[in-house]
Amino acid sequence: THPQFFDQHPELLETISVTHPYGGRAIPLAERQTVALREKLKLAESRLVELLQFGEENDAISEKVHRLSVALAGARDFPALASSLYFHLREDFAVPHVALRVWGKSVAADFDEAKPVDDAQKQHAETMGAPQCGPAAGNPFVPWFGESSGQLRSIALVPLGQTAVFGLLALGSEDPKRFFPEMGTLYLRRIGELCAAGVTARL
């Protein structure tokens, strides 16, 4: 609060004793300030490396989302759309288990995407408001994954549709840390928007 203090009281600089943060011995004030600045520099460099890493990871994810959007835009019909979605989520995003359900639209009855969805599941999807992530245990949508259900440890749920929800994209993983409640869902939301737009355009 008084940066000019030692300018106003220079005689104190002759008698002040500052303890070295590591050696315990007394050192000059200037040397102590140098030590403090070096510590701040190390923290700044560490933070910069972390930010660069996050930036690279986000660039990589953005590129994958772009490839997915191009593939979905080029799908000629709903089966091709679903096939492209499953392929890119598996190969680009390394999501081993994907389940898509659509209701209120003209999906052929023999497609997996048209399998019955009970009212409780529909209501759950309609009230989510945003993607949800968490453990697979006890999740009401785990049965959608069929024989793989018992292997799942974490799951992400992405509602389709903004003004009115008409479907749900479910992603499952054997890794309990792959989808966790505190994770960011920006890219999951974008994938859901791409999927919803593609489904709406083809049904």
DSSP string covering 19-62, please?
E-TTT-SEE-HHHHHHHHHHHHHHHHHHHHHHHHHHHHHHHHHH
Distance CA 56, CA 149 (A): 33
Helices 29-73 and 78-91: crossing angle, nearest 10°? 150
DSSP per-residue string spanning 94-131: ---EEEEEE-SS---TTSGGGS---HHHHHHHHHH-S-
Backbone angles phi, psi at 77, to 5 degrees: -155, 180
Question: pLDDT of 110-159, one tens digit each?
Answer: 899 999 999 999 999 999 999 999 999 999 999 999 999 999 999 999 99
How far does Cα 85 stand from its chain's mean position?
18
Closest listed residue to residue 168, CA positions, set 72, 92, 104, 96? 104
Q: Is the pTM of this model over 0.75?
A: no
Question: pLDDT of 8-18, one tens digit each?
Answer: 887 776 667 66
* Cβ–Cβ < 8 Å for 103, 161: no
* Cβ–Cβ < 8 Å for 134, 179: yes
How far does Cα 22 stand from its chain's mean position?
40
**H/E segment holding residue 83:** helix 78-91
Tokens of 85: 């979605």
Q: Name the strands in the sheet holding 132-135, side by side, starting at the edge strand that comes first in the sequence.
A: 97-102, 167-173, 154-160, 132-135
Question: pLDDT of 159-184, one tens digit each?
Answer: 999 889 999 999 999 999 999 999 99
Instruction: Provide the pLDDT confidence category of residue 48 given band limits of 50, 70 and 90.
Output: confident
Q: Is the pLDDT of residue 200 over 80?
A: yes
